[in-house]
Structure 1
Amino acid sequence: MHVVPLPALADNYIWLLHDDDGQALVVDPGEAAPVERALAAHGWRLRGILLTHHHPDHVGGAPALRERHGAPVYAPDDERIDVATHRVGDGDRIGFDAPAAGFDVVAVPGHTLSHVAYVGEGLLFCGDTLFSLGCGRLFEGTPAQMLASLDRLASLPGDTRVCCGHEYTAQNGRFALTVDPANEALRARVDEVARQRAAGMPSVPVPLASELACNPFLRTGSAAVAAWSGAGDRVARFAALRSAKDAFA
């Protein structure tokens, strides 16, 4: 199974998976055109659409893709996603014959209350819950909910490749260095991202192990984050991180 990040809108990624026979899936198509171009360029055939949450920049292209290709649309049980043909929830398993792929559904409330992630084929499609070196804003959930969601994702195998919804890594890295400036793994990751972006390359996917070493939102139990925040418990530390990041220029 091959995974391709398709740049879309201002800074989104649409994730396209395909096998060697040209069978394809797409995750969070915020617009249809990048998907249609990729399918046409390679002769791939769209067999399924997976949506993580209801925001327009993640679902906007799904109606046109569903109509043109007749592909089923898997989405959380949220009436704001009216294009869904299949509703999914925590613990569900989605399987495809072509391409031969399977994904577990993980509920990750925080960014939105109905947000889900899809885990399978060594990949994590986490929408706007987890970003490289950051996490999503809390539009609907609480700090405790988001921290619990991140903890669930952090428990996945370290070689899982994180496929998030936006190219935010460089800015996230600048903030992370204000929290954990002595973290050598973080400094190396920030340098790597600078090289990737200068070369016109995406900064993701990235192994989860890298995020566990570098991402302050996954390191609320660390001495560095505790010292930076001055808070005694992990929820309060996370809330301090998220508040500071919201105000970070």
Structure 2
Amino acid sequence: MRLTALPAFDDNLVWCLIDDTGRAIVVDPGDATPVLDAARDGLVPSAVLLTHHHHDHIGGVPALLDRWPELPVFAPDDVRIEHATQRVGDAARIEAGGVRFDVMFVPGHTRSHVAFVGAGSLFCGDTLFSLGCGRLFEGTAAQMHASLARLAALDDATRVCCGHEYTESNAAFALAVEPDNPALHARAAEVRMLRAQGRLTLPSTIASERACNPFLRCDAAAVRDRIATRLGHAPSDDVETFAELRRWKDGFRS
């Protein structure tokens, strides 16, 4: 199946897995407009996957259901998400649009956030970003760290399809954390080139994120040393390292 991302709003991405007939699994359509525009070129949604309740990820669902009333909508068990036809939770295995997905419960950004893994791709919403991670709006640092550790354990080649194009700004922070990481420098250079050409930096891969993303590298000596400098003492564990990284990022300006 062909993987593509439809830009929405300022930096959202509506991911689509499209088969040879144009039938598409649509992920997190916060805005229906790019999906409806693609439909004029032959795209036909076959299922919708929703990772969490934020409006910029679910707001387009009513318009899509107006156009395709029988469209199945898979979503976490959260009353803030209307229009779901099937609720999903951790370790569920679903079939959507002819593709099998494993569901992972990944709280931290929100309390009910899930991710979908299928067709060699990870649809992770706002939990994992390339070179970054989501803010802790409802969860704890321990929850988010555990969620990211689960995602980092996926196969190296898994394509990371996150909900926003944040990679360039995330790279600036990652370089502040690990200025001597050669893999990160290579990724940052690639990101600058892609953005200068008006291209997306996504999908990334799990292998790339493990090598470059500081939020997946809380056990790396260089990351722990940087956090120790900020804290004034060695972090007690990886969760404390992660928590301070997230606080640092929340106030970071490049």
> Where does residue 50 of structure 1 map in the other structure?
49
TM-score, with normalisation over the residues of structure 1?
Answer: 0.97
| Contact in 2 for aligned 1:66/1:73 (Cα 8 Å) | no
Residue equivalent to 1:161: 159
Cα distance in structure 1, aligned partners of 2:100 and 2:124: 16
- 1:88 offset after TM fit, Å? 0.6
Query: 1:82-109: per-residue Cα shift (whole Å, max 9, x none)?
Result: 121111101111113xx43111110000
Cα distance in 2, alignment partners of residues 158 and 141 from structure 1: 27
Partner of 2:231: none
Structure 2: gaps spanning 5 or more residues: 229-234
Shift of 1:78: 0.1
1:241 and 2:245 are equivalent in the alignment = yes
Find the counterpart in structure 2 of residue 209 from structure 1: 207
Equivalences for 1:68-217 in 2 at 5 Å? 68-70=67-69, 71-96=71-96, 99-217=97-215
Letter in 1 for 2:242: F
User: Structure 1: how far apart are the matches of 2:158 and 2:40?
Assistant: 29
- SS class of match (1:34): helix
Q: Secondary structure at the match of 1:110?
A: coil
Pair 1:11 & 2:15 matched: no
Corresponding residue SS for 1:106: strand
Which structure 1 segments of 5+ residues have no match?
none
Kept after mapping to 2: 8 A contact 1:111/1:129? yes
Identity of aligned residues (%): 59
2: CA distance, partners of 1:192 / 1:34: 27
- Determine the C-alpha separation between the residues in 1 that align with 2:187 and 2:43: 33
Q: Distance in 1 between matches of 2:39 and 2:161?
A: 20
User: How many Å separate the matches in 2 of 1:66 and 1:84?
Assistant: 11
In the TM superposition, what is the alpha-carbon distance from 1:39 to its structure 2 partner?
1.9
User: For 1:64, what is the secondary structure of its paired residue?
Assistant: helix
Give the 4+ runs in structure 1 shifted more than 3 A.
none
Deviation at 1:207, TM superposition (A): 1.2
- Offset at residue 40 of structure 1 (A): 1.4
CA distance in 2, matches of 1:91, 1:206: 24
Residues 226, 232 of structure 1: 8 Å contact kept: no
CA distance in 2, matches of 1:77, 1:131: 23
**Matched position secondary structure for 2:161:** strand
Matched residues in 1 for 2:240 and 2:59: separation? 35
